[in-house]
Amino acid sequence: MEYSKRVFEHFQKPKFAGELKDADAVGEEGNIKCGDVMKMYIKVENNVIKDIRFKTYGCIAAIAASDTLCELAKGKTLEEAEKLTYADIIKEIEELPAIKIHCSVLGIAALRNAIKNYRKSN
């Protein structure tokens, strides 16, 4: 399987990996095919995502795509962030093997769940 250079850069040095201790909401999503589990932590201020982290036991594609998604989501409003798609991620990391699409959308689903949970509790 071939990955682009950008994918490996995100995989080797993820900027947003880890937990957010004072997160306002957490979202989770699982993927049975690869056994990937994704958690997204968001910190929200005035409807804007002030900080964001992800935690996963996922594969390279899941890590690279989620790190990219975090980069894109940070500083965006909740409405903007929940509209981010797989195409937005691909624009940043150039390409992912088609077989890995299900891993790449995990972060998107987890982020949307986090936003949903945030709205429920605020």
CA dihedral 99, 100, 105, 107 (to 10 degrees): 170
37 forms part of the interface with Zn ion (CB under 5 A): no
According to CB under 5 A, which one of 34, 37, 90, 109 is a site residue for Zn ion? 34
Q: How far is the CB of 95 from Zn ion (least distance, A)?
A: 16
Burial of 12 (0-12, 13-18, 19+ CB in 10 A): exposed
Active site residue 34: yes
Q: How far apart are CA 3 and CA 95, in angstroms?
A: 7
29 forms part of the interface with Zn ion (CB under 5 A): no
| Gyration radius from the chain CA atoms | 13
Q: How far is the CB of 5 from Zn ion (least distance, A)?
A: 19
- Phi-psi region for residue 18, left (φ > 0), alpha (ψ -120 to 50) or beta? left
Active site residue 103: yes
Which of residues 34 and 48 has its CB atom nearest to Zn ion in the complex? Answer: 34
Contact string (CB under 5 A) for Zn ion, positions 51-80, x = contact: --------x--x------------------
Q: Which residues bind Zn ion (CB under 5 A)?
A: 34, 36, 59, 62, 103
Please list the active-site residues.
34, 103
